[in-house]
Each structure stands twice: as structure tokens, then as C-alpha cells.
Amino acid sequence: MPAKQELGRSAAEVAITYDFVKANEEYLNEGHKPEPSDLTRGPRSYTAVITCIDSRATPEHWYDLRPNEVWSLRNGGGRANDPGLLRSLMILQATSEVKEIRVLHHKNCGSLYYNNQWVHDLVQKNSPSRSGQYSPSAYPHCQSMGTLPFIRRGDKDEKEIIIDSIKQDVEFLRSHPLVKERVKVTGFYQDLSNGLISEVDVP
């Protein structure tokens, strides 16, 4: 069997190309064997995890999950006060049995280092980056768009800020009219350095 493709970064920090089609072919060659319950709607855990888009923070990997075992809802920071995320939660609760919503924020989150103004200024300035440039008409589209940053306060350290954001989001969802009363909302802190996900007490 040929070796699996390796991903990495060169010394020049250029992303190495990954052949997704080939990877899928290799996956199929190894045998796609869904269980009957994998072909029905709704994961077997009845749990939604709200987490960051950070590619290091994949909840399926960290919780050792297979397909159809959790709903993953992701945005920058994994913040709950996001119209798109609330829309998804509304749909899930209307169409499926949701037993728990887990808010999972992680250590070393990039969202600690930006705010709305900073991101909007970058879009307006539109300097070329490694992703290229936006269309010249991009700026008006971001002006009404929040970036859901964490709020740095006083002399709190990074972990305290993240724990605060988890508590805020758990409380926000527990009191939100679009979250059904019987759905349990919990909060967790994900430590990228040691792999531990620990529960945050939100009375």
C-alpha cells in the first residue's frame, strides 16, 4: 500500500499541497463501512459542540469521535453570540433531539489578539497577504459584521479571559429563548499543550 500523504510546512512557511481527491480515494480503498445508524440524521451523542475554527482544535479528534457522533458548530473563537450559530442551533433543536450543547474554547486562541476595528481596518486597507487580496468592494460587507472577539480586561491572563468567555457563552445560551429549556448547556477549556479538555464550573 502506498504511503499516506504527509502534510507539513516548508522552511519558508509555505503550505504543502494535499491531494484531497487522492486522499478520498485512499479512504474508499480502505473500505467505507457506515453503520446503519450513520445513515440516519443526528449524531449518536445527541450533543452539539461549539468551538473555534482553529484547525488545531477539532473536537472530533480530541474527543476520539467517528462520523455521526457529534454536531460541530464552529466560528472564530467558538463564541455563542453569533447569528449563524444560533440559526444552526435553532434548526438542530427543531429537527433533532439535542440533549447537550458544549461550549469549548481553547488555549492560545488567535481571537484573543484581534477586535472588530482591527479586522475591519485590515479589510479596508486590503494589503496583499498570503491569501491574496479582497475584491475592491469587500469593505462595506464587513462593516456590519462582528468578529466575536474575546474582551481583554485589566490584568487578567489568557486563561482567565478564556474561562470568562466560556462562562459568558454558557450563561448566554442557558438564557437564550432559542435554546430549549431541557437542553443542558456546559462549558469546557481545551488545552492545546497537553491535550486535556476540562469542564468549567458554571453554576
Binding string to Zn ion for residues 133 to 172, with x set by CB under 5 A, is what?
Answer: ----------------------------------------
Cell numbers standing for residue 131: 491569501
Instruction: List residues bridging with 199 in a β-sheet.
Output: 188
CB atoms within 10 A of CB 202: 16
C-alpha–C-alpha distance, residues 132 and 118, integer Å: 18
| Contact pick of 48, 49, 50, 52 for Zn ion (by CB under 5 A) | 52
C-alpha–C-alpha distance, residues 110 and 200, integer Å: 20
Amino acid at position 158, single letter? E
Name which of 51 and 186 has its Cβ closer to Zn ion.
51
Q: Which stretch binds Zn ion (CB under 5 A): 5-13, 91-99, 108-116, 175-183?
A: 108-116
Name which of 107 and 176 has its Cβ closer to Zn ion.
107
C-alpha–C-alpha distance, residues 151 and 164, integer Å: 9
| Contact pick of 101, 109, 162, 173 for Zn ion (by CB under 5 A) | 109
Q: Does 185 bind Zn ion (CB under 5 A)?
A: no
Name which of 105 and 186 has its Cβ closer to Zn ion.
105
Strand pairing of 100-106 and 47-52?
Answer: parallel
Q: Interface with Zn ion by CB under 5 A: which residues? A: 52, 54, 109
